[in-house]
């Protein structure tokens, strides 16, 4: 049986899209707090046609710095029904095609490339970070790997012009463009150390892209750079949350997100490609891996983003090992049952990758809690402030259209460290006067005691809420501050 690559790729695309759409529509809500932040930006753009530079709800009200090309693109297609559910799933789809072509470029083996494309499409880290979410990554990741693909053969066709255009677009979509800039610079260094002659075109493209990404980011984040200097890399994340964002990778969690197959095959691929074949394309992908590792080590990139790009790059390199396994099978007796072996391999991938991926999605809020928040949107005074855990700040602002005390966007946020400390005290203190002091300080009218709050702060319900003269239970999880 000879698999037609186009047919195979189309099948993977259909499978990926169906799976992702199934996940997206299995819940009327999104699976991350950040999705609601992006949704608010998009809705604001639809309403005003202007960039969302001032958020009246976040941290009481604050200035906002955020690249918004993704949001503009989303708003452009806002006439499509359920566009916030459908479009991100369509944006991420080209990654499957790009992964196929990158793997084909490395291995020249259509079957290995198809398997690689399948592995990339169902990478647990990718699904965890992008499925059922209005995530900027759904556009940034395909663009990131498209640029790497163009760089692999910059002379071919329109690759140069695609690369130029993508270099301009990526920093307008996400600051992850810095990772790209560092990776390609690292590639030049790595090639030099391996005495590999990099083509002039590639060098020129690298230089151009590096400077362009740097300039656009300087322009976009000018205020933040002036305020925080190089510390901007850590996004002004308060010390209480730094450990959570930049934690040294937990080996089991990382293994789960990267996937065991990509990790083993990817490591073999790095060894084969860099040390034996000295393949420039593999060195380019390896430099992405090394840059991520270096940035993770220096705590310049958060763990979740690092693992996401690490897993995709490693899976792409795994194509080398996959191709070798297929070739090996062809020269053994097993060759006779090659098709069965391939079928078994695909079944294994489904069993090891796709099924766990199905369960890897997380639910950050229950539908009941959302309906509670929606009722607040109707009942609460327009200028009211609602206290919620920082991990639900965007969600509260989205559903209630009321102010939050803090959320996960810390750049230019007013006193995030103090606010986080105060939020923790408000949920954990037994003193009503202490809690009231905090409520008055931030002009808080409602306290949201969600499951997430119970999990984060380890309390089912602050005991001071028993004082009915000052606190009135509005819904089972929302309390009104009356004093």
Partner 1 sequence: MLLAAIILVTPFLIRGSWDTVGKEPFLLDRLSKDFLLQGKQAQDTLSFSGRPWSYPLGTVLVAATLKKIASPFFVLLILPLLLGILTAGLFYASINHLHQNKKVAFIATILLVISPSFIYTFVFLKEFTIPLFLAMLAGHLLICRKHLAAYLFLALMAGFGIEHFIIALVMLFLARTPEQKTKATIATLLILILGMVLYFPLLFQYGLPELFSFEQRNPLFNIFSDFGSRFGISIFLIFLAFFGLKEFWKEKYTHSRMYTALAILMLLTIIKASFIIYATFLLALLSALGMLYLFNARWESRTIKDLTIFILILGLLFSAISFLNNYENAQPSPELVESLQSLSQVSSPEEVILSHYSYGIWINSIASRKNVMDEKAFYAPQVNERFQDIEELFQSRNLERTQTLLKKYQIAYIYITPEMKQGRVWQSEEQGLLFVLKFSQDEFTRIYHQNGIEIWKVRT
Which chain residues interact with partner 1 by CB under 8 A? 160-161, 164, 199-201, 204-205, 207-208, 211-212, 214-215, 218-219, 222, 225-231, 414-415, 417-418, 422, 437, 441
Tokens read off for 294: 């270096």
Give phi and psi for 425, each to the nearest 5: -60, -45
Least distance from C-beta 123 to partner 1, angstroms? 33
Q: Note whether 404 and 57 are within 8 A (CB).
A: yes
Report the residue number, 225 or 358, with the smaller CB distance to partner 1.
Answer: 225
Report the residue number, 228 or 271, with the smaller CB distance to partner 1.
Answer: 228
Where do the H-state alpha helices sit in 298-366? 303-330, 338-349, 355-360
Least distance from C-beta 475 to partner 1, angstroms? 30
Tokens read off for 210: 């590096």
Report the residue number, 28 or 229, with the smaller CB distance to partner 1.
Answer: 229
Least distance from C-beta 425 to partner 1, angstroms? 12
Least distance from C-beta 222 to partner 1, angstroms? 6
Report the residue number, 73 or 164, with the smaller CB distance to partner 1.
Answer: 164
Q: In what order do the strands lie in the sheet with 478-481?
A: 403-404, 385-387, 444-448, 478-481, 471-475
Tokens read off for 188: 């030049």
Where do the H-state alpha helices sit in 331-431? 338-349, 355-360, 367-379, 393-400, 416-428
Report the residue number, 227 or 342, with the smaller CB distance to partner 1.
Answer: 227
HSE-CB of 236 using CA atoms within 13 angstroms = 22
d(CA 381, CA 402): 8
Tokens read off for 232: 């901007």
Least distance from C-beta 154 to partner 1, angstroms? 8
Report the residue number, 27 or 428, with the smaller CB distance to partner 1.
Answer: 428
In this structure, the number of other CB atoms found within 10 A of the CB of residue 438 comes to: 20
Least distance from C-beta 127 to partner 1, angstroms? 36
Q: Given phi > 0 = left and psi -120 to 50 = alpha, else beta, which region is 60?
A: left
Q: Note whether 172 and 69 are within 8 A (CB).
A: yes
Q: Note whether 205 and 154 are within 8 A (CB).
A: yes
Report the residue number, 201 or 473, with the smaller CB distance to partner 1.
Answer: 201
Report the residue number, 327 or 440, with the smaller CB distance to partner 1.
Answer: 440
Least distance from C-beta 219 to partner 1, angstroms? 6
Least distance from C-beta 441 to partner 1, angstroms? 7
d(CA 152, CA 146): 10
d(CA 129, CA 373): 25
């Amino acid at each position: 049986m000879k698999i037609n690559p186009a047919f195979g790729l189309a099948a993977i695309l259909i499978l990926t899209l169906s799976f992702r759409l199934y996940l997206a529509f299995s819940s009327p809500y999104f699976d991350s707090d950040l999705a609601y932040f992006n949704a608010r930006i998009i809705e604001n753009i639809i309403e005003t046609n202007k960039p969302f530079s001032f958020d009246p709800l976040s941290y009481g009200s604050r200035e906002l710095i955020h690249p918004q090309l993704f949001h503009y693109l989303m708003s452009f297609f806002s006439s499509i029904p359920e566009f916030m559910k459908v479009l991100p799933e369509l944006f991420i789809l080209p990654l499957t095609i790009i992964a196929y072509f990158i793997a084909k470029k490395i291995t020249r083996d259509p079957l290995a490339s198809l398997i690689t494309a399948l592995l990339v499409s169902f990478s647990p880290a990718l699904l965890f970070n992008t499925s059922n979410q209005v995530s900027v990554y759904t556009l940034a990741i395909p663009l990131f790997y498209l640029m790497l693909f163009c760089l692999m053969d910059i002379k071919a066709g329109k690759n140069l012009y695609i690369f130029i255009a993508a270099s301009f677009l990526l920093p307008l979509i996400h600051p992850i463009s810095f990772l790209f800039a560092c990776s390609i610079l690292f590639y030049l260094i790595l090639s030099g150390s391996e005495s590999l002659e990099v083509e002039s075109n590639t060098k020129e493209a690298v230089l151009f892209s590096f400077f362009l990404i740097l300039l656009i980011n300087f322009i976009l984040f000018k205020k933040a750079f002036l305020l925080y200097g190089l510390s901007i890399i850590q996004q002004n994340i308060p010390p209480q949350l730094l450990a959570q964002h930049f934690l040294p990778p937990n080996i089991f969690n990382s293994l789960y997100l990267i996937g065991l197959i990509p990790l083993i095959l990817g490591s073999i691929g790095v060894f084969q490609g860099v040390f034996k074949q000295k393949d420039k394309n593999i060195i380019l992908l390896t430099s992405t891996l090394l840059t991520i590792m270096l940035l993770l080590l220096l705590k310049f990139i958060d763990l979740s983003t690092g693992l996401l790009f690490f897993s995709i790059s490693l899976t792409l390199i795994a194509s080398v090992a996959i191709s070798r396994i297929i070739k090996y099978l062809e020269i053994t007796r097993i060759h006779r049952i090659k098709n069965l072996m391939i079928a078994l391999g695909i079944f294994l991938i489904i069993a090891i990758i796709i099924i766990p991926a199905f369960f890897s999605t997380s639910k950050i809020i229950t539908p009941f809690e959302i309906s509670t928040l929606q009722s607040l949107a109707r009942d609460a005074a327009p200028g009211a402030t609602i206290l919620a855990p920082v991990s639900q700040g965007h969600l509260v602002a989205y559903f209630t259209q009321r102010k939050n005390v803090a959320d996960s966007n810390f750049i230019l946020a007013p006193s995030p460290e103090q606010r986080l400390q105060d939020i923790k005290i408000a949920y954990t203190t037994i003193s009503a006067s202490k809690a009231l002091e905090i409520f008055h300080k931030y002009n808080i009218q409602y306290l949201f005691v969600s499951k997430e709050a119970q999990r984060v702060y380890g309390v089912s319900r602050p005991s001071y809420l028993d004082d009915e003269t000052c606190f009135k239970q509005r819904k089972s999880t929302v309390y009104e501050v009356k004093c």
